[in-house]
Every structure is written in C-alpha cells, then in structure tokens.
A and B are shown apart, each in its own frame.
Chain A
Amino acid sequence: MQVGLAHYLVVSTLLFCLGLYGVLTRRNAVAILMGVELMLNAANINLVAFNRYAAPAAVGGQIFALVVITLAACEAGVGLALVMAAYRGLETVHVDEINLMKW
C-alpha cells in the first residue's frame, strides 16, 4: 500500500485535535502556547503534503510552510513575552485567574 495524501491528512488532523485539546483544557498559558505550536505543525504538514501531492511542480506550499514557521516563531516570542508580563503584573500564569476582561 502506497503512502497517500490521506495518510498525511489523518496524521495532521489528529495532531491538530491534540493541540486543540491542549489549548482548551490547559490552565497554564505556556502549555496553551505549546498546544498552539502543535496546531501550527499540523497545518504545516498539510501545506507540505498538498504541495507534494496536488501540485508537485510548484514550491508554494513549502514557501507558506516556511512563512508559517517564521510567524510561529514570532508568535512564540510575543506570546511568551506576554506571559512574562502577565506573571510580573498579576503574579500568575493561569488563564482562569486572569479575568480582568470580566464584566
């Protein structure tokens, strides 16, 4: 049996849902960021897989994967800076304790 596009998509789906589960259930902001990274990786797998199977002659999927990786780096940097700022200002990194937006 050949490895097809569907295989990659199944893996990326499972990875994405694991990431989503982490984002939704984790209390620690850093853990939530880890979940987000997983979701981004899932998306990247999709991009590269589609590039390989749907349009093998082009490099657009890889280009976008690279851009996503770059932006993920940015997101991680800024997000973790926010966590630091929140920890310093509010003495906590738990999102259920950060409720300044409440009514």
Chain B
Amino acid sequence: MGELAVFIILAMVTLIPAAVVVTSRHLVRAALSLVPTFLGVTGLYVLLHAEFVAGIQVLIYAGAITVLILFVIMLTEGGTGVRTRQITDQVPLGAMAAVWLAFVVLAVTLRTPWRTQPGAAPSYGVAAVGTAFLTDYVLVFEVTSLVLLVSLIGAIVIARRES
C-alpha cells in the first residue's frame, strides 16, 4: 500500500512538471520544470531498485542537460521572450496525435496480462553493472564512448564561431 502511494506521488511529480514543460509560454520556466520531472523519474528508478541508473539520471539529466539548455536559452534570447509566440500552427493536430498515441499505447498496455510480481529483488549493485559493461557489453561500451568523442568534436565544430 505504501509502495503504491509512493509510486503515485512520484508519478505526479513526474507528469505535472512535464505538462508544464510542454505547455508553458515562458521558456525558462519550462526548462526549470524539467528538473522535477527528472527527479521524479529518478524516484521511479529507485523504486525499481536501479540505484546506479538513478544516480546517473540525477548527474546527467537533472544536472548537466538542464544547465546546458538554460545556457542555450540565454544565448539565444531573441527567441525566448515571453511575448514571442511559442507554439506552431499545428497544435490541434499535434494534440490529437499525442492523445491518439496515448490511447493506442494505453489500450495495448492495459489489455496485456503483465506479470505483476517483481520477483525476488536482486542485488543490483554498481559492481554488477560495471562487470556487465566490461564483459558482455564491452562492445556497446566502447562504441558508446566513441560516439561520445565524435559528438564532442562535432558539437565543437558546429558551434564554433567562424573566424
């Protein structure tokens, strides 16, 4: 019972700021609303016994990416004013698409007989994740690191001011 209550609270913490993110006319507010959303998701991870992922979520999403987005908003202030129209002309169609997609996916989800038992909670430790990364998933690990390097260089090249 307690777990369900915690889950519902965390879901609210996640979804309500998310709605603010996508609807707010004030861009900085939208960006700041990302923080509770990410933290809510972090709570869900903890609830799922994925502590390492939760930690990373806080570090990267709530920390780095939000800050990065705020920086860009500041740098491109021309498009961030409150007076500026923030929505395109396809709001009805977009809303319809989102609702339809939600409907379809929910219909599928709810009609499927899921296993509700989480089973015996394993001891997900950082050690297990690290071992998996360096044994079974070493190729993924390496490729990801390569992608990181390339995107680092790419971001620098793209954002670099022309001499």
Contacts of B11 in A (CB 8 A): 7, 11
Secondary structure type dominating chain B contacts = helix
> Is B137 a contact of A63 with CB atoms below 8 Å?
yes
Which of A5, A17, A81 contacts B155, CB < 8 Å? A81
Most chain B CB inside 10 Å of its own CB: which residue of A4, A66, A72, A75 = A66
Closest B residue, CB atoms, query A52: B48
Q: Is the CB of B72 within 8 A of A84?
A: yes
Residues of chain B within 8 A (CB-CB) of A56 are 118-122
Tell me whether A31 and B86 are in contact (CB under 8 A).
Answer: yes
Tally of B interface residues using CB under 8 Å = 89
Q: How far is the CB of A78 from chain B (nearest CB, A)?
A: 5
> Contact string, A54-70, partner B, CB cutoff 8 A, digits 1/0?
10110110110111011
How many residues of A are in contact with the other chain, CB < 8 A?
76
Q: Is the CB of A34 within 8 A of B88?
A: no
Interface of A (DSSP majority class): helix
Q: B61 touching A77 by the CB < 8 A rule?
A: no
Would you mind naming 10 contact pairs between A and B with Cβ atoms under 8 Å apart? A14-B102, A18-B15, A25-B88, A53-B114, A53-B116, A65-B53, A70-B60, A80-B159, A85-B159, A92-B78
Give residues in A with beta carbon < 8 Å to B: 1-11, 13-22, 24-31, 33-35, 37-38, 41, 44-45, 48-49, 51-54, 56-57, 59-60, 62-63, 65-67, 69-78, 80-85, 87-88, 91-96
A-binding residues in B (CB < 8 A): 1, 3-4, 7, 11, 14-15, 18-19, 21-22, 27, 30-31, 34, 37-38, 41, 44-45, 47-50, 52-53, 56-57, 60-61, 64-65, 68-69, 71-73, 75-76, 78-80, 85-91, 93-95, 97-99, 101-102, 105-106, 109-110, 112, 114-122, 124, 128-129, 132-133, 137, 140, 144, 147-148, 151-152, 154-156, 158-159, 161
